[in-house]
Structure 1
Amino acid sequence: MPKIKFTLISTKDALFAFGPIVLMVIAVLFAAYYFVDPAPGKTLDFSAGQENSAYEGFAKQYAEELAKNQITVRVHKSQGSQENLRQISDSESNIDIGFVQSGSTNQADAEANGLTSLGSLFYEPIWIFYRGKKELANLRELKGQRINLGPDGYGVRRLFQQILEVNNLEENDVHIQQLESTPATVAFIEGKVDVLVMSSASDSLLVQMLLQTPGVKLFDFVQAEAYTRRFPFLSHVLLPRGIVNMGKDIPSRDYHLISPTATLVAHESLHPALISLFLQAAKKIHGGANWFSRQGEFPSDRFTEIAVEPQAEKFYKNGPPFLQRYLSFWMSNFLERMWVLLIAFGALALPLSKIIPPLYVWRVRSRIYRWYGQLRSVEHTLDDATPKQRKQIAQEQLQRLNEIEMKVNHISIPLSYAEELYGLRSHIQFVRKRIVDGE
């Protein structure tokens, strides 16, 4: 006789009752996890700038920071701000994010192109380098000069056209050249270019070299404050005396400069979870003091004409999301997305809590109750027998009862339902006694 295992619950019946429901819940949660709020991608495309430019250098630092969270940032070279703006706006370019100089667009066009700002990162002063014994007092003195503004993709060209206009000059009044930064600097040193106009952070090696090159002068924007009133996207910054080289007293006096800011611009399709990650990297890369900004001044939600993304605004007000302060990016993102799953699970939990227990009880008891049908069949067969058939039928039904009893003795049910089992066995004895007494 096989050994019967006594348990508090029936695993088989529990699986039968809970299994389909659990699978349904898993399917709902799976759909919620992957379709209601998709996980961020692990590869991004970043439009930076020219080779060896400050933009390219910063973009590589972002790639290093995001790589710590298993996110690959592919850095793409470009001609500069204007080209970055076009590529981020173009859905076919697959560029997710890039550097754009303030003043390169306006809010209406940015919204139409699906652009959003993550904030401004650093000042990019307008550097106007020239040669000559006499210092320029006004930009009108540039009339007739050979001026290099860089290729069309440069942000400085659009800005310098506006500067010429407020100084009552037109492009035809000067000779515009479009060399890239490095060859333009070489041409300037060789005297093939009269004026070199650049817009770059103080990290630029070319700017630092030109500031220390004998015979090269820097234009002083003595009307800097007036420029900022005419162009709200510009800031008045000061190049302090001796900041380049204190020992050599370079520069030998303070210089007033006008400066747009480099902003981090993304397409609106950028996953919200990545915005906080980029801003944490921005704080580490641009948060220190430099020639023009104080400690902690950048990144900032100011100095940008493109509307700042709401998730970025939350970062500026409250810092990184709570979970990201203590957990890895992917773990915190998973837990934040779990709220969706908890809502989905909560919507199912209450009705399921009322359905599953009765289903389990029915499943266990059905293994006992179905034998009552057999007992009723035995009684009906005996009741329908004629007096002549009764003895033979009684013997047949006794044999049938023995078979039923043997099978019932092998039923394995949880101990909590043993009362029903022993009740069935007593009812078998009751039917047997009735048959025997009726014979």
Structure 2
Amino acid sequence: MHDKTSRKKPSLVRHTRDSVTQELAAWTGLVKGEWKWILTLISGLVVLIAFTRPLPPKEVYLAVGEQGSVFALLGEKFIPYFAQEGIELHLINTKGSASSLAELADKNLKANAALMVGGVVAKGKFPNLLSLGSIEHTPLWLFYRGSVFQGKGLFAYFSSKRIALGVEGSAEEIMINKLLALSGIVPDYRENFLRINNQEAAQKLIGGEIDALCIMDGIDGPTIQRLLSQKDIHIANFAYAPAYVKKLPFLNTVVIPMGSLDLKDNRPEQDIQMLASTVTLLVEDDMHPVIQQIFLLAANKIGNEVDQFFANPEFFPAYIDHAVALSPVAKRFYETGPPPFIDSLPLWFVNYVDRIWFLLVGTVAVIYPLFRLFPSYRLIRSSILISDAYTEIQAIDQKAAQAQTNEELQELINELNALDAQSRESSISSVEMNRLYSMKSALNLIRLQIINRKKERTP
């Protein structure tokens, strides 16, 4: 007699193991049977990933103008933020904003981004570039020697002096030319208008070789700090600054308050009104969204620094110069702020999900109802196998009713034998065992009926 104690006791571990084994067997069967569709799906995913570029490049090149300028100093501030994401930011020194623009606009050169003075770019001239906004003010400084100028015709007075306007194509030269044109002064062909770089011009002004110089740079720039330290060199007050801003909307007015440079010596002795543009960050229109996000996040933190002289914290970054279209990434950043979870997840992953969330939502909307209908694939696969077997048994039964010879009947018996063997080799979920053996009973019944018919026809 069979020993009842030898029967297996219920075991959660064994049940879990068997369920996992059956599930894996079902998925293996799916791969073997539907490999063409699976390969198509994988190919589509690969194309989607390649098209949406989840991972950013490992190197970025930023044109920053003259060495030692505010642009170069700003560029250095961006480097640690890129390093945190495993990306190396290279700074490219140029002759000025116009040179940086040319470097960026030429696809054959390395620069992918550039810091430049707002107002240098003509509106609509560079459709292949995008703006990430402005980062800080860049004042137009007019330093001069001699007695303090008290009049209002500033440009008329200095147009007869030996004055340095920056190298050809620099932000200083472009800006001064626009301001002089508004004052009815044509700077071309004047020998007293010198086109030399800022460092050389500063040295000549300190040495008394020239009377004045124009420079667009931040107050923290080494050249500006050197000139501010010279007590015999003055800063020009732009009395008509608001009027120029009306004519050139990319400009604004900034003020050096009385005594703000040196309270002990009361420098300056009165408020000095100045014209200012902004440091604008331009990028290639195909720049990776993650790189744009890093620039924006860094610019946001730099803009919140409390030691800015000409701007209140949290004013920058801002979209001020509209000559270049705002990047869609920057537009969303300004409207909704930084993406969520950037402090706890890799930026590339957060950015990628942020870009394709609509695809994820659509996919979940389709898959979730199916998931609720089919809690495990092994159950639906087992159900399909058994249902298909029932359909084949029914078809064989119908053929048997129309068979006229023993050969036809034997062929049907062979089909049933093959179907029976296939059912033994298939991985069927334990939940579907009742239906499996009901199907095998139906198969055996039809097979027995055909065998009996065959015997009846045998002489």
Q: Deviations over 1:50-71 (max 9, x none)?
A: 1121111111222221221223
Q: Deviations over 1:291-345 (max 9, x none)?
A: 2111111111224433333432332222123454653311112323443653785
TM-score normalised to the size of structure 2? 0.77
User: Where do 1:152-191 residues align within 5 Å?
Assistant: 152-171=168-187, 172-173=189-190, 175-191=192-208
In structure 1, the partner of 2:334 is: 316
Letter aligned with residue 421 of structure 1: K
Q: Provide the C-alpha distance between the structure 2 equivalents of 1:363 and 1:380, rounded to a whole number of angstroms.
A: 26
In structure 1, the partner of 2:130 is: 116
Q: Could you tell me whether the CA contact under 8 Å between 2:64 and 2:116 is conserved in 1?
A: no
In structure 2, the partner of 1:39 is: 54
> Residues 133 and 407 (structure 1 numbering): CA distance in 2 closer, same or farther, change over 3 Å?
closer
> Residues 278 and 436 (structure 1 numbering): CA distance in 2 closer, same or farther, change over 3 Å?
same
Q: Could you tell me whether the CA contact under 8 Å between 1:238 and 1:256 is conserved in 2?
A: yes
- SS of residue paired to 2:99: helix
Q: Are 2:443 and 1:424 aligned?
A: yes
In structure 2, the partner of 1:393 is: none
Aligned identity (percent) is 21
In structure 2, the partner of 1:105 is: 121
Question: Greater CA deviation, 193-202 or 270-279?
Answer: 270-279
- SS of residue paired to 2:259: coil
Say how many residue pairs are matched: 421
How far off is 1:435 after superposition?
A: 6.7
How far off is 1:100 after superposition?
A: 2.2
Q: Provide the C-alpha distance between the structure 2 equivalents of 1:406 and 1:253, rounded to a whole number of angstroms.
A: 103
Q: Provide the C-alpha distance between the structure 1 equivalents of 2:225 and 2:423, rounded to a whole number of angstroms.
A: 95
Q: Provide the C-alpha distance between the structure 1 equivalents of 2:441 and 2:356, rounded to a whole number of angstroms.
A: 48
In structure 2, the partner of 1:390 is: none
Q: Deviations over 1:77-116 (max 9, x none)?
A: 1111111222222233242211121221332324xx4232
User: Where do 1:275-290 residues align within 5 Å?
Assistant: 275-289=292-306, 290=308
User: Where do 1:7-156 residues align within 5 Å?
Assistant: 11=26, 12-35=28-51, 37-39=52-54, 41-42=56-57, 43-110=59-126, 113-135=127-149, 137=151, 138-156=154-172
Q: Are 2:343 and 1:328 aligned?
A: no
Q: CA RMSD in A?
A: 4.1
Q: Could you tell me whether the CA contact under 8 Å between 1:243 and 1:291 is conserved in 2?
A: no
How far off is 1:232 after superposition?
A: 1.9
Which runs of 5 or more residues in structure 1 are unaligned? 386-395
Question: Greater CA deviation, 255-264 or 410-419?
Answer: 410-419
> Residues 212 and 358 (structure 1 numbering): CA distance in 2 closer, same or farther, change over 3 Å?
closer
Letter aligned with residue 24 of structure 1: T
Letter aligned with residue 139 of structure 2: P
Letter aligned with residue 114 of structure 2: G
Q: Could you tell me whether the CA contact under 8 Å between 1:17 and 1:363 is conserved in 2?
A: no
How far off is 1:174 after superposition?
A: 5.5
- SS of residue paired to 1:107: coil
> Residues 161 and 435 (structure 1 numbering): CA distance in 2 closer, same or farther, change over 3 Å?
closer
How far off is 1:239 after superposition?
A: 0.5
Which runs of 5 or more residues in structure 2 are unaligned? 1-17
Letter aligned with residue 147 of structure 2: K
Q: Could you tell me whether the CA contact under 8 Å between 2:165 and 2:172 is conserved in 1?
A: yes
Q: Could you tell me whether the CA contact under 8 Å between 2:148 and 2:234 is conserved in 1?
A: no
Q: Could you tell me whether the CA contact under 8 Å between 2:131 and 2:283 is conserved in 1?
A: yes
In structure 2, the partner of 1:301 is: 319
How far off is 1:369 after superposition?
A: 8.3
How far off is 1:209 after superposition?
A: 2.1
> Residues 323 and 408 (structure 1 numbering): CA distance in 2 closer, same or farther, change over 3 Å?
closer
Q: Could you tell me whether the CA contact under 8 Å between 1:98 and 1:265 is conserved in 2?
A: yes
Q: Provide the C-alpha distance between the structure 1 equivalents of 2:266 and 2:186, rounded to a whole number of angstroms.
A: 37
Q: Could you tell me whether the CA contact under 8 Å between 1:117 and 1:264 is conserved in 2?
A: yes
Q: Provide the C-alpha distance between the structure 2 equivalents of 1:307 and 1:380, rounded to a whole number of angstroms.
A: 78
How far off is 1:371 after superposition?
A: 9.2
Q: Could you tell me whether the CA contact under 8 Å between 1:32 and 1:340 is conserved in 2?
A: no
Q: Provide the C-alpha distance between the structure 2 equivalents of 1:144 and 1:305, rounded to a whole number of angstroms.
A: 33
In structure 2, the partner of 1:292 is: 310
| Greater relative CO, 1 or 2 (CA 8 Å, sep 6+) | 1
Q: Could you tell me whether the CA contact under 8 Å between 1:228 and 1:236 is conserved in 2?
A: yes
Q: Provide the C-alpha distance between the structure 2 equivalents of 1:308 and 1:369, rounded to a whole number of angstroms.
A: 63
Letter aligned with residue 419 of structure 1: S
In structure 2, the partner of 1:388 is: none
> Residues 181 and 350 (structure 1 numbering): CA distance in 2 closer, same or farther, change over 3 Å?
same
Q: Deviations over 1:360-418 (max 9, x none)?
A: 75656767988999999999999549xxxxxxxxxx99xx99x9899689645524223
Q: Could you tell me whether the CA contact under 8 Å between 1:99 and 1:263 is conserved in 2?
A: yes
- SS of residue paired to 2:49: helix
How far off is 1:175 after superposition?
A: 1.1
Question: Greater CA deviation, 50-59 or 173-182?
Answer: 173-182
How far off is 1:204 after superposition?
A: 0.8
User: Where do 1:214-363 residues align within 5 Å?
Assistant: 214-289=231-306, 290-324=308-342, 327-339=345-357, 341-342=359-360, 345=363, 363=385
